[in-house]
Chain A
Amino acid sequence: MDPVIFTTTAIIAKILVLLGVTLGVVPIMVWFERRGAGWFQGRPGPNRVGPFGLLQPLADVIKFFFKEDWVPANANKFYYLMAPVIALVAPLAAISVIPFGSHIIIGDHVVHLQLANIDSGVIFILAFAGLEVYPVILAGWASNNKYSTLGALRGSAQVVSYEISMGLALLSMLLFYGTFNMNEMVTWQSQSLLGPIPSWGAFLNPFAALVFWISIFAETNRLPFDLPEGESEIVAGYHLEYGAFKFAAFFMAEYCAMIMASALLVTVFFGGYGFLPGMQMLLEMATAQFGLAEVGIQNVTALLQFISLASKVAFIMFVFVWVRWSLPRFRFDQLMDLGWKWLFPLSLVNLVYSALLTWYMN
């Protein structure tokens, strides 16, 4: 086949797979969040629509679809309509640099399982993660509502204070890996630290992993840091004036951002698509069972790598839900206190520690 056509097809296929998986996980997450909330709180949760209530998200979508599309009279219409679009696009764009497997071999072509293998992957993802605060500000300001504006102000203050510790935690890991490329990071992490334990970022620098983990909660506006939404205080915060499908877009964006943040956390700190324990055994079993050649082994490896990444991301997503139904919301001053007085200085100290450790190791 013509390599140009093949490459184009491969890229389109990768885009479709990434979009399909991300947007396909959203309704499952919505379902799990609501059903899981029920299990956490000793009640069954939504169980009426479909088996186990699995069609509940579909019913929600139908409801959103047929609701009146309403724009507040004094809203700035352009920015008001733009906010949900940015909210949805930013995390989806950021996912494009996450590697979800090494490579597969089709015929004599090698397809790398990463949409954009760019050298500045981390910078790219940080830029788009940072863009996530813009829809909050835009939506809050353009709605021309006091509660929305309060939510937007809280959101911006929160993201500014957490992005610094998040960046510093990431920086300390960049010192270890010595690269901005996400794919090389994963390869670096697959080497052995102590016998069978791989040198995952979380083992090398657990504190940075913790800071980063806390920061992504703030970054995605999830409990315990959901101050921009704060139902009990400011009604619904920045998306108060949004109804119908525009609200659904914000809702989807929240889950896409969670998926993106989890994938980033896994890639930087938990070995990305690196095998989970037991996967290597599975691969050897499959090889022996089907008598796979080199090409087949590589393709099965890629599949297992994808499964590894998916299970790791699924675990982080579970923690998102788990934390949401366990911890109450922080007060605003407590949030600022935690961000500036604890995480920021500690991650600075951690950065120095990482620099010294890297220097010593080299």
Chain B
Amino acid sequence: MGTINVSRKYTLAQKIYLYYIIKGMLINLKRFFRGLFLQENWTIQYPEQRREYSQRFRGAHFISVDKNKTENCTACFLCETVCPAECIHIIAEERPEDENTYGVWKEKKPASFDIDLLRCCFCGFCEEACPKDAIKLSRDYEMSVATRDEAIFDLNHLKREVKGRG
């Protein structure tokens, strides 16, 4: 492997390069004093300050509930079918009539509804496919877990209250 020499025209000041080093260092000194006295930061102090993401941000999933805390999901399997990552696993069962006394009687309900977050690619197709507006993506982006089992959201966790969306 040979060395490729790219010929460039340098001026004398560039060849000595002490002048340009000092010039660059002075620029950096300006940065230093701006950081020291004006606290000019390009970063945020994360746990205290949070970045505002867009309203359309697709974060952790949740299932919307009605006022009786009954999930809107009717276990139609549309989300499981459309999911490109195959991360949604639903087991359906019949919903007892007395469980939903008001409004429309939803005949089916999910016995279990698991989303494997480690597989999910947050494309939002499930949200688009859902005819009941049941499954939605929140703007919550803090999804770190300690074990793999915790990364599987079950129905209980999905029915949590989410602010600002849904």
- A-side residues, CB < 8 A to B, are 36, 38-44, 322-323, 325-327
B25–A326 touching, CB < 8 Å: yes
A322–B42 touching, CB < 8 Å: no
A323–B25 touching, CB < 8 Å: yes
> A40: which B residues are within 8 A, CB to CB?
28, 31-32, 35
CB distance from A319 to the nearest CB of B (A): 9
Q: Which residue of B lies closest to A338 (CB)?
A: B17
Q: A44-B43, A327-B21 are in contact. Are A39 and B28 (CB under 8 A)?
A: no
> A36: which B residues are within 8 A, CB to CB?
32
> B41: which A residues are within 8 A, CB to CB?
42-44
B39–A44 touching, CB < 8 Å: yes
Query: B45 interface residue, CB < 8 Å from A?
Result: yes
Contacting A322 at CB < 8 Å: which of B28, B34, B39?
Answer: B28
Query: Chain B interface mostly helix, strand, loop or mixed?
Result: helix
CB distance from A118 to the nearest CB of B (A): 36
Contacting A325 at CB < 8 Å: which of B28, B40, B42, B43?
Answer: B28
Residue among B28, B31, B32, B41 with the highest chain A CB neighbour number at 10 A: B32
Chain B interface, number of residues (Cβ within 8 angstroms): 17
Can you list 28 A-B contacts (CB < 8 A)?
A: A36-B32, A38-B35, A39-B31, A39-B33, A39-B35, A39-B36, A40-B31, A40-B35, A41-B31, A41-B35, A42-B31, A42-B34, A42-B35, A42-B41, A42-B42, A42-B43, A43-B42, A43-B43, A44-B39, A44-B41, A44-B43, A322-B25, A322-B29, A325-B28, A326-B24, A326-B25, A326-B28, A327-B25
6 nearest A-B pairs in the assembled complex, by CB-CB distance: A39-B35, A326-B28, A43-B43, A42-B42, A326-B25, A39-B36
CB distance from A308 to the nearest CB of B (A): 23
> A325: which B residues are within 8 A, CB to CB?
28
> B35: which A residues are within 8 A, CB to CB?
38-43
CB distance from A214 to the nearest CB of B (A): 9
> B39: which A residues are within 8 A, CB to CB?
44
A40 to B25, CA, bound (A): 10
> A44: which B residues are within 8 A, CB to CB?
39, 41, 43, 45
Q: Which residue of A lies closest to B39 (CB)?
A: A44
> A327: which B residues are within 8 A, CB to CB?
21, 24-25
B40–A42 touching, CB < 8 Å: yes
A103 to B158, CA, bound (A): 77
Known: A39-B31, A326-B25. 11 other contacts (CB 8 A): A36-B32, A38-B35, A40-B31, A40-B35, A41-B31, A42-B34, A42-B42, A43-B35, A44-B43, A322-B25, A323-B25
> A42: which B residues are within 8 A, CB to CB?
31, 34-35, 40-43
A102 to B5, CA, bound (A): 56
Q: Which residue of A lies closest to B25 (CB)?
A: A326
> B36: which A residues are within 8 A, CB to CB?
39
CB distance from A204 to the nearest CB of B (A): 20
CB distance from A265 to the nearest CB of B (A): 17
> A322: which B residues are within 8 A, CB to CB?
25, 28-29, 32
Q: Which residue of A lies closest to B43 (CB)?
A: A43
A38 to B42, CA, bound (A): 10
A323 to B22, CA, bound (A): 10
Q: A44-B39, A44-B41, A44-B43 are in contact. Are A39 and B25 (CB under 8 A)?
A: no
Contact with A along B34-65 (1 / 0, CB 8 A): 11100111110100000000000000000000
Q: Which residue of B lies closest to A44 (CB)?
A: B41
A43 to B36, CA, bound (A): 10
> A43: which B residues are within 8 A, CB to CB?
35, 41-43
CB distance from A349 to the nearest CB of B (A): 15
A113 to B25, CA, bound (A): 36
Q: Which residue of A lies closest to B28 (CB)?
A: A326
